[in-house]
Structure 1
Amino acid sequence: MNFPLLMHIASISPRALLFVVGEHAHSRYFSEDACELAAEPKELYVVPGANHVDLYDKTDLIPFDKLEEFFTKNLA
């Protein structure tokens, strides 16, 4: 790859990070790698039964409660 995707992870963290990924997402490994490299506070939230595309438009799978909890806690 020509673009070093994780090159700026240190610039983003230690701000609170929430990685949301589908259990069966083909790109799950990338979120796991990014979460491993990020500083605390961080959380990896795996949506059971979901793939990558499901989290774009399947509103029954999008974890709105988790997102609301994260933003309420970290943007207060």
Structure 2
Amino acid sequence: MKGQREYLDEEKFSGHGHMVSDLLHKFSRWYELHRERELLASLSDEALKDIGVSRADVEHESVRPFWDDPMHK
């Protein structure tokens, strides 16, 4: 019986481990989006012109909330 109990407990926690992993991935992705938007906003007008992005595009992107993920990762 003890072996069965340990198996059930491991099974229960493995599901939570997946949820925790997904949550950590989501937080990591949100931080990545926040950082990328900050870096984009810090680029000079010349650098933005080189990559084909206008200052208006940057302003539009930089006001998006951190959880607004265009790639839905």
Higher relative strand content:
1
Q: Which fold has the larger relative contact order, with Cα–Cα distance below 8 Å and residues 6 or more apart in sequence?
A: 2
Larger Cα Rg: Structure 1 or Structure 2?
A: 2
TM-score by length of structure 2 reads 0.27
TM-score, length-scaled by structure 1: 0.26
Q: Which is richer in helix?
A: 2
